[in-house]
Structure 1
Amino acid sequence: MDLNLSRFTNPKGSSCSATQNLYVANCGPAVGISFEDIKSVFSIFGEVVGIHAADDSGTRVIVCYSELIAAKAAFETLNGCRCGALGGRILHMRYSILQPPPKVNINDSLSVSLLSSELAIPGIFLVHDFITSEEEQELLAAVDSKPWNNLSKRRVQHYGYEFLYQTRNVDTKQFLGELPPFVSPIIEKISSFQGISENEGQLVDQLTVNDYPPGIGLSPHIDTHSAFDDMIFSLSLAGSCIMEFRKYSLGSCHSRKAIFLPPRSMLLLSGEGRYGWHHYIPHHKVDIVRRKMIRRYSRRVSFTFRKVRTGPCQCKFSQYCDSQKMLKVV
């Protein structure tokens, strides 16, 4: 890469405790700067032998050089400067001693499926690359142009009907309007799912958009039976996560399964998977998938599409069904 160093301004002096490793803040995947871009810039000063996340924030990295002289040159040129090649961000740097990564006992972690066929829970289907990268960016831009409602650990938007977190239900008398035009292509693609007939009618009329910061998950729950119909669709954007499924008996969990949800994938919960299994996103900054550590560097934005139920639920999972419990009380 041919870089004009005149784009960096106000160079500062180096520290006396120089090492071959540079801690660089305001730089990383969470602010839209890839490791490849970082390496392209820092390689101008010498051989870069590694780039590592400094922590779980996704905004700080460690750049490792093979020679001390290269690290010094980069420090003296880039520290405190606005770097045009890295989005115009001002880099804040110091010398660092590279620490070994934390040990994770991968033998204690839950086996994670990559495909819904491996998960083998009836009614749960996962489609990878449901949308393109371009469509993903358009959807993110569309919701970021709308106002967010702040919850304790995440932000949300509601369309069609507002989801009421206090009751885990919707107020069917408060119609917010039709679903926004920017999700129309997604709704059209939903009809391609296995088991959906052309005569289903309107598949969805409610949308909740969740914006999860890195590491934030979701408590175990089953979507209220009386609130929504059989099929629940969840599109994952920007970041990945593990979703865990738990089946309970007599108040205790006796079965646990998990699946990896990559960006741009669509998950369908229906049948037994929708009514009889709790789903849960662990509050992790690092997920273990097939003996590999996958850090949650960026936000994860989910689009959850549902159809508001107009009558009582009559599913086969009465132990979890609020509609059938109410009938027993009466």
Structure 2
Amino acid sequence: MLFGLSAFPSHLERLLTTLNDLVASRVPLEVFEQPLARQAILNLYPPGNGISPHIDLPHRYADGILGVSLCGGCVIDFSKEREQASKRGDEAYSVYLPPRSVYVLTGEARWQWAHGIEGRTHDIVLDDQGVKQTVQRGLRVSVTFRWMKEGGEVLS
């Protein structure tokens, strides 16, 4: 859903305010202070579902993508754009998003790395001692906040 300035439903405004308080010291200030229209996407992911690797529409959305992973956890995969990866040698990373986690994509992570979630019912993660553990996926709810670029709402 697309909302105008400060026109999120009150529960999303409260969530965004809480997230701002939690991550403000780690994120460029302008991520939360952009005056353009904002977008909130709510997705429901049953175990076995994922999302193809992608970079959120660079011509439409500004720097700063904020995601919240609720209920179930999962592994999110990051891969460098092919031309950039061949130059630097860093091609892919996987990160476990436990339930109730937050991620922020800004700068290079926003513009040059694709992110996606493999469709599977479980993930292999390392515990605190570096031992591989199988973690079954549960129902996952994702809330993603994005800020539109000026003119980004116009479809051509």
TM-score range relative to shorter protein = 0.7 to 0.9
TM-score by length of 1: 0.39
- Of all paired residues, the percent bearing the same amino acid is 34
Stretch of structure 1 that moved more, 181-190 or 284-293: 181-190
In structure 2, the residue matched to 1:308 is 148
**Residue-pair matches, total:** 139
CA RMSD in angstroms comes to 2.6
Take 1:295 and 1:195, find their aligned partners in 2: how far apart are those partners? Answer: 31
Pair 187,283 (structure 1): closer, same or farther in 2 beyond 3 Å: same
TM-superposition CA deviations, 1:232-252 (whole Å, max 9, x none) = 000011111000000132498
Instruction: Determine if contact 1:226/1:311 at 8 Å carries over to the other structure.
Output: no
The structural deviation recorded for 1:280 is 1.0
| Residue 133 of structure 2: aligned partner | 292
**8 Å Cα contact 1:159/1:180 also seen in 2:** no
> What letter is aligned with 2:100?
R
Paired residues of 2:2 and 2:37 also in contact (CA < 8 A): no
The one-letter amino acid of 1:179's match is F
> Structure 1 or 2: larger strand share?
2
| Contact map agreement 2:36 2:148 (CA 8 A) in 1 | no
**Is 2:43 the counterpart of 1:210?**
yes
Give the 3-state SS of the residue equivalent to 2:61 in structure 1.
coil
Take 1:183 and 1:272, find their aligned partners in 2: how far apart are those partners?
27
Are 2:104 and 1:265 aligned?
Answer: no
Deviation at 1:179, TM superposition (A): 1.2
Counterpart of 1:248 (choices 74, 81, 87) is: 81
Offset, 1:264: 0.9
Unaligned 5+ segments in structure 1 are: 1-157, 161-174, 313-330
Secondary structure, aligned partner of 1:273: helix
How far residue 208 of structure 1 moved from its aligned partner, in angstroms, is 0.6
The CA distance in 2 between the partners of 1:271 and 1:239, in whole Å, is: 27
Q: Distance in 1 between matches of 2:141 and 2:150?
A: 28
1:264-283 maps to which residues of 2 (within 5 A)? 264-283=100-119
Assess, with a 3 A threshold, how the Cα gap between structure 1 residues 251 and 231 changes in structure 2: closer, same or farther. Answer: closer
Provide, for residues 218-277 of structure 1, a one-character-per-residue CA deviation record: whole Å limited to 9, x for no partner: 101000111111000000111110000001324988511011101111110110001000
Q: Supply the distance in 2 between the matched residues of 1:233 and 1:292 (Cα, whole angstroms).
A: 27
The TM-score, its normalising length taken from structure 2, stands at: 0.78
Partner amino acid, structure 1, of 2:92: R
Whole-angstrom CA distance in 2 between matches of 1:286 and 1:183: 29
Instruction: State the Cα distance separating 1:184 from its structure 2 match.
Output: 1.7
| d(CA) in 1 for partners of 2:55, 2:11 | 28
Structure 1 equivalent of residue 52 of structure 2: 219
Residues 95-115 of structure 1 deviation map (CA, whole Å, 9 limit, x = unaligned): xxxxxxxxxxxxxxxxxxxxx
Q: CA deviation at 1:299?
A: 1.3
Q: 1:195 — aligned with what?
A: 27
